[in-house]
Amino acid sequence: MINPFKYFTALFLSFLFQVTTSTAADRYVSLNGTNDFANKFITWAGAATDIQWAVNFATNGETVWVSNGTYYLTNQINIANGILLKSFSGSYTNTVINGNYPNITSRCVSITFSNAAVDGFTITNGYAPTNNQHGGGAYISAGTLKNCLITGNTVTNNGVGGGAYVTGVNGFISNCYIFGNTAYNYGGGTGIGAGGTVFYCQLMFNRVLSGTLYTGGGGAYMGGAGLLQNSSIISNTSGRDAGGVYMNMNSSVRNCLITTNIALRGGGIFSFMNGGTQSNKIESCTIVNNGFAGVAATYRGGQYIYNSIIYSNTSLNVYTDDSVTSYCYSCCTITGAAGYKVVFANSENITNPPAFSDFAGGNYRLTSESPCVNAGLNLPWMESLTDLDGFSRIDKFSDRADMGCYEHHPRGLMFKMR
């Protein structure tokens, strides 16, 4: 007679063995590894010294761990399945992917699979030399680049995104510092193609070199139907248009701080529509201290600006020409709205000073006296998205959003009990 306890114990152990043996393996990369190809780099001792070698053996669901050090490339790293490439320390300061320019002329990383992710690296010295090759440091058509420092990368000719380029509804750049990258024509920091998303990033000190008409986007160039949200775009430059962000046909910029960017036209944002059916949206942004103009729009179409503070930009805050109409809803715009047509589309636009916490010191959060507090429209995305500081966008007491990228959250009262 079969003992039921022994039977089910054996069945359970057999099942457990199958589960453990089928679990995805980790792969390892280290400058001190011994390149154990036979066992496919499944131990630190046998780790690969080349990141691509470990990536080639990894399959969906596996993690490739990369130890501290600087990894000089001989070609770009290609990630085309659902793996995680992650620095072992978790910090970009310790693990560097170096494109090795001028010895090598290629970008650093390409991610082309929706479940793939690259997490926690410095990506630097990538160089995309050929015409229309996008993303000097990284190219993402599907998957996620996150928690990285992207710096010192370059695209030439008509390439877009000196630091990185993201496109497609499954392409994301998240929580990255994009500093000091260069493009010749489009998107010094990053390029955002149709459907691509950049969020919770800082784009600073990037540049576009060209002075040709309709080139630019020192911080970001948006090719159309992309999204830039909850990010800071600061101190980027362009030789022609859009020191901060170049918006192209049906792009959206949301919950962003855009300040101290410089261009000949559209220091903060340059918005291009190219037709009566095209439009761009700027929502809940703070656009201050840019030159020339906070927002410039051109070439037939509609621009829609909601809940935004566009203040103290050189020459003009909002400028439109070429049959463009800018529709402003619940915005704070101080002086300087000029051009073909700027329409204050509801009665809640204001021209009062926004009363920042420390305007001279660059703190553009709102004080309790600000007329921008509880003065915005509640927009559908606010239920699930926070402000730039991570606070709820809709005040629970007033049930109203504020203008700008920061919600005002007064400190609670304190009582001393005896």
The per-residue pLDDT for range 119-148, each reduced to its tens digit, is: 999 999 999 988 889 999 999 999 999 999
pLDDT band at 20 (very low <50, low <70, confident <90, very high): very low
pLDDT confidence tier of residue 36, bands split at 50, 70 and 90: very high
Q: In angstroms, rounded to a whole number, what is the distance separating the alpha carbons of residues 72 and 142?
A: 25
Residue 336 is predicted with a pLDDT of 60
**Inside any domain, residue 388:** no
What's the sign of the alpha-carbon dihedral 79, 81, 87, 93? positive
Q: Which two tokens stand for residue 299?
A: 């070439």
Query: Which of 107-111, 254-258, 391-395 is predicted least confidently?
Result: 391-395
Residue 49 lies in a domain: no
Mean pLDDT, residues 14-21 taken together: 36
CA–CA distance, 374 with 154 (Å, rounded to integer): 43
Question: How many domains, in total, are found in the chain?
Answer: 1
CB 355 within 8 A of CB 366: yes
Tokens standing for residue 195: 């459907």
CA dist 228 → 172, 199, 382 (Å):
10, 6, 15
Q: What is the rounded distance in angstroms from the CA atom of residue 259 to the CA atom of residue 345?
A: 25
Round the average pLDDT of the chain to a whole number and report it.
90
Q: Among residues of the chain, what percentage have pLDDT more than 70?
A: 90
Task: Determine, yes or no, domain membership for 241.
Answer: yes
Residue 237, pLDDT above cutoff 50: yes
Are 243 and 267 in contact by the 8 Å Cβ rule? The answer is yes
Give pLDDT, residue 277: 73
Query: How large is the average pLDDT for residues 198-219?
Result: 97
| pLDDT value, residue 339 | 60
pLDDT of 3 above 80: no
Asked if residue 74 belongs to a domain, the reply is yes
Q: CB under 8 Å to 377, separation ≥6 — which residues?
A: 306, 307, 329, 330, 346, 348, 401
Residue 16 pLDDT > 90, yes or no?
A: no
Q: What is the DSSP string of 164-210?
A: EEE-STTEEEES-EEES-EESSB-SSEEE-TT-EEES-EEES-EE--
Asked whether 261 and 290 are in contact (CB, 8 A), the reply is yes
pLDDT at 2 over 50: no
- Residue 196 tokens read as 């691509």
- Tokens matching residue 338: 């000029």
- For 270-329, write each residue's pLDDT tens digit: 999 877 677 899 999 999 999 989 999 988 788 999 999 999 999 889 888 877 888 999
Confidence of residue 385 (pLDDT cuts 50, 70, 90): very high
The residue among 300, 304, 371 whose CA lies nearest residue 318 is: 304
Count Cβ atoms below 10 Å from residue 74 Cβ, excluding itself. 10
Domain assignment present for residue 332? The answer is yes
Range of the domain at 179: 66-369
| Inter-residue contact 128 to 154 (CB < 8 Å) | yes
In a domain, 61, yes or no: no
CA 281/CA 124 separation, integer angstroms: 32
